[in-house]
């Protein structure tokens, strides 16, 4: 489960050396910094995954009212894409120039379309964790379900076998260990959104905490 501010915090790999002249600064959203490596942050334990029994469920406000269940082989048979995008954690670290590989959300929506009046999506993970995003953020051109980063499979700690990546939002929205996609007719808060974190989580607007929300930013807490 992706955590805004808890977990072991173990760096993975060496990461880029920081430029002495602060060359990254113009690309960093307010309050962010570039770390060495990729810190591990999540709530709860890392699931044990058996790809022979793993599946992805798509349900809720679908166009035909039904649901779709994809096993791992069926998921990997969908069109595969690469997206270059930065990654911004609400704990204030940013990873720049990530090359994510996986299945674009628009390709998921082609095989199981949402209803025309569906407005939001809940991304479900193991152990009941969830995060909510608007349909517009879900279907953004650089949103995808990733299985590789920078040419290497995701580690279990970082979400293998499938992680949602939504670069324009803080990274707790980029749910690890995805197991289900639920289309919604109205917004519904996910795990951290119900526990004090901003419902929308737009990085460049620094939408970190629920106390910053306006009346149109989400359902009541």
What are the extents of the domains in the chain? 52-212
CA angle in degrees (0–180, nearest 5) for 129-130-134: 170
Percent of the chain whose predicted confidence (pLDDT) is above 90: 73
Q: How confident is the model at residue 28 (pLDDT cuts 50, 70, 90)?
A: confident
pLDDT at 24 over 70: no
Q: How confident is the model at residue 38 (pLDDT cuts 50, 70, 90)?
A: low
Is the pLDDT higher at 40 or at 168?
A: 168
Which pLDDT value is given to residue 12? 28
Among the residue ranges 19-28, 159-168, 183-192, the one predicted with the least confidence is: 19-28
In 3D space, the residue among 77, 86, 82 whose CA is nearest the CA of residue 174 turns out to be: 86
In 3D space, the residue among 146, 155, 62 whose CA is nearest the CA of residue 109 turns out to be: 62
| Pairing of the two strands 55-60 and 130-134 | unpaired
pLDDT at 7 over 60: no
- Give the predicted TM-score (pTM) of the model: 0.86
Cis before 209 (ω within 30):
no
Give CA–CA dist 137/105, Å, rounded.
10
Q: How confident is the model at residue 27 (pLDDT cuts 50, 70, 90)?
A: confident
Is the pLDDT higher at 30 or at 164?
A: 164
Which pLDDT value is given to residue 91? 87
Which pLDDT value is given to residue 26? 56
Percent of the chain whose predicted confidence (pLDDT) is above 70: 85
Give CA–CA dist 114/182, Å, rounded.
9
Sign of the C-alpha dihedral computed for residues 48, 82, 122 and 200 taken in this order: positive
Could you read off the pLDDT of 115-157 as tens digits, one per residue? 999 999 999 999 989 999 999 999 999 999 999 999 999 999 9
The second-level CATH assignment, the architecture, of 52-212 is: Alpha-Beta Complex (3.90)
Among the residue ranges 32-41, 86-95, 120-129, the one predicted with the least confidence is: 32-41
Which pLDDT value is given to residue 93? 83
Which residues, 6 or more positions from 121, have their beta carbon under 8 angstroms from its beta carbon?
114, 132, 133, 134, 135, 138, 181, 182, 183, 184
């Amino acid at each position: 489960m992706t955590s805004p501010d808890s977990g072991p915090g173990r760096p993975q790999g060496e990461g880029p050396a920081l430029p002495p002249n602060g060359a990254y600064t113009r690309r960093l959203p307010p309050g962010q910094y570039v770390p060495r490596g990729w810190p591990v942050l999540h709530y709860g334990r890392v699931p044990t995954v058996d790809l022979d029994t793993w599946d992805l469920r798509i349900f809720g406000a679908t166009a035909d009212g039904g649901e779709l269940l994809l096993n791992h082989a069926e998921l990997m048979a969908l069109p595969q894409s690469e997206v270059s995008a930065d990654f911004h954690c609400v704990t204030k670290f940013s990873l720049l120039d990530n090359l994510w590989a996986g299945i674009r959300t628009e390709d998921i929506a082609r095989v199981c379309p949402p209803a025309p009046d569906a407005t939001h999506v809940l991304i479900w993970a193991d152990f009941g964790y969830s995060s909510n995003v608007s349909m517009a953020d879900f279907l953004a051109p650089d949103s995808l379900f990733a299985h590789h980063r920078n040419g290497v499979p995701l580690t279990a700690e970082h979400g293998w076998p499938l992680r949602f990546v939504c670069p324009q939002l803080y990274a707790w929205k980029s749910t690890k260990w995805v197991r289900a996609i639920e289309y919604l007719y109205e917004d519904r808060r996910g795990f951290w959104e119900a526990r004090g974190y901003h419902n929308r989580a737009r990085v460049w607007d620094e939408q970190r905490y629920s106390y910053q929300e306006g009346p149109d930013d989400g359902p009541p807490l």
